[in-house]
Copies of this chain bind each other. A is one copy, B any other.
């Protein structure tokens, strides 16, 4: 997986502070996660082929996560897109986009599929091409979901040497890859683990923004490879975080620690902070493996 953070700042766009938008590239997909105002310009800067984006996930309908979407949808049309586009987001997103297209007296010349969300518990949005995407219910001022991207478990790897020793028939290979025990030519049952190796563990990425401190998410993001968790405030504004249903850097770190994630990325900083290094230092008191997001940050894992 390759994650590219196009924008990671909260609230109002500035010259060099883009609102939330991320790209996650998997083997066969290029997912866009949130789409703040100006996202299409950031996609151009990253030289992204717009046609490769087929699924867009919108966490919630605050402007800094969503107001770039109408323009992007219009641009797809101007570029002559024909491939279907799937948009996943809170109920209401279809009405909003539809109204804006209607007022412009235009419509898309490609199929536009809205998948509107209202569920309070996690649902599977997509399961194809070796990847699954699930919602992560979050706690914010409006209905909000994070998103969990997880590779589907790989087949177990055949141990050619022991398979030959035990004279396992070729017809049993599928069962072996699926982790089942098999019988050899003599009719003896052989444990799968003797005949296969562990596959590469499935990679996983969790996007959690915007949200208050919300330990209910921990089970779902247990041991993910990379967690992006919002950290709008430092400790000095704990009360404001509570009031606005955002998180502090330390709360994000606590979630990462309790979920035993491998790597934490912080972002969605309030524009009141000029120096961001304190996000790192406060969070590192609780959890060590941290990156501070910046616009243009990328990570392969």
Residues of chain A at the chain B interface (Cβ within 8 Å)? 11-15, 37-38, 40-41, 44-45, 61-64, 67-68, 70-71, 74-75, 78-79, 90, 92-93, 95-96, 99-100, 103-106, 141-142
Contact = CB atoms under 8 A, between A and B. Distances in A.
Give the number of times this chain occurs in the complex, counting copies: 2
Nearest to A67: B71
A126 B42 CA distance: 38
A142 B40 contact: no
B92 A103 contact: yes
Given A71-B67, A74-B63, A104 B142 contact: yes
A288 B202 CA distance: 67
Contact of A71 (B13, B74, B93, B96): B13
A-B pairs with lowest CB-CB distance, top 3: A61-B103, A12-B75, A37-B71
A104 B38 CA distance: 18
Contacts of A99: 92, 95-96, 99
Contact of A78 (B12, B41, B75): B12
A103 B63 CA distance: 10
5 contacts: A12-B78, A13-B38, A37-B71, A96-B99, A105-B142
Contacts of A75: 11-13
A119 to B, nearest CB: 18
Contacts of A78: 11-12
A104 B62 contact: yes
A100 B63 contact: yes
A104 B61 contact: yes
Given A12-B75, A13-B40, A38-B38, 16 more contacts: A11-B75, A13-B38, A13-B71, A14-B44, A15-B41, A15-B44, A15-B45, A62-B106, A63-B104, A64-B71, A64-B74, A67-B70, A67-B71, A67-B74, A96-B103, A104-B142
